[in-house]
Chain A
Amino acid sequence: MREVTMKVRTTLPSATELTKLEKKSLVSYIYVGPPQKQYIKMFGTEPRIQLNDVFAKVSDIPDFILAERAARDEAEIPYMITSLKVDEYTKMQIVGEIKLELRKAAALRINYSSRMPIAKN
């Protein structure tokens, strides 16, 4: 069940060493990928960040984290986790900038969202 409308396309990379996100209520999502078709005219084809329902800039991330924290119990804050849903063809530059912002905001627990590879024989 999705809470947000996807405005960017994210084809997740595949990985085998996955950890499940246990408590959904403690997870904040950051989406990165090229904009969906209907937004290409306005936002181009380069990967963009989506926070909640809107396109965002890297500089919006600290505010986003603060808002996410404010929405939760104080006792739960250390257990909060940020899930990065990033398209696999994104360049690392934007990911690196996001990681730096997260570090500055002291949101250190992250999860690089990935999917199980399709079994190959």
Chain B
Amino acid sequence: MRKTPEIPSASMADIAFMLLIFFLVATTMDVDSGLERVLPQMPPEVQEDTPPIKERNVFSVLLDQYDRLMVEGEIMRVEDLRDKTKEFMTNPRSLETLPETKMTEIPLIGNVEVTRGIISLRNDHGTQYGMYIAVQNELVAAINELRNDLSTQKFGKNYANCSSEQQEAIRAAIPSRISEAEPKTVGGKK
């Protein structure tokens, strides 16, 4: 009887190792992350009259087709938007021009001044998406910073580490009201 020739198995471990490395490198594991937002619901056919919002309670943020930023009627750089938003949302010196606050009792926190401010964001059809995201990011960052400050002050830890009841209380104290107006085209195509 003839002996069947054996395949040398010494290099098998190396081959397996090389395959393993190859697939590790070839596989992309992209972690998906981004800015989370909730779109407003479509308005019902018959519009009820909403009570008018006072001028001082609205923080108007405009983006034009050349990616210029105008906040409350002033040209502004994106870098300055965060501080401006924080000032608007807290109204630290109780100015007449900044939004009203209302003393509200919130469980776990107690009495706090809750702002009535609304951030109104309007972009142009020609605005670049990157710029729009940069502005959204600054607005969200401002609110996140305020929430972090409050949670550190009240609970001694970051907002993200608070329990869900605590987070709810913080959210009630610092609401995030970002409203997006219908975009409009200013002047011509693109």
Which residues of A approach B to under 8 Å, CB–CB?
1-2, 12-13, 15-21, 24, 27, 81, 83-84, 86-93, 95-96, 99, 102-104, 106, 108-116
Contacts and interface: CB of A to CB of B under 8 A. Distances in A.
Contacts of B183: 92-93, 96
B103 interface: no
B34 A90 contact: no
A16 B126 contact: no
Contacts of B132: 92, 95
Nearest to B125: A93
30 contacts: A1-B27, A2-B28, A12-B34, A13-B134, A17-B140, A18-B35, A19-B36, A20-B33, A21-B34, A81-B36, A84-B34, A87-B129, A88-B129, A88-B133, A89-B128, A90-B129, A91-B126, A91-B127, A92-B125, A108-B41, A110-B36, A110-B38, A111-B35, A111-B37, A112-B35, A113-B32, A114-B33, A114-B35, A114-B133, A114-B137
Given A17-B141, A106-B41, A112-B133, A92 B35 contact: no
Closest 3 CB pairs of A and B: A88-B130, A93-B125, A113-B34
A53 B136 CA distance: 29
Contacts of B36: 19, 81, 109-112
B29 interface: yes
Nearest to A102: B39
B31 interface: yes
Nearest to B140: A17
Given A103-B39, A103-B42, A110-B39, A15 B128 contact: no
Given A16-B141, A103-B42, A106-B41, A24 B32 contact: yes
Given A89-B128, A92-B132, A96-B125, A17 B41 contact: no
B41 A15 contact: no
A83 B39 contact: no
A108 B140 contact: no
A104 B34 contact: no
Contacts of B126: 91-93
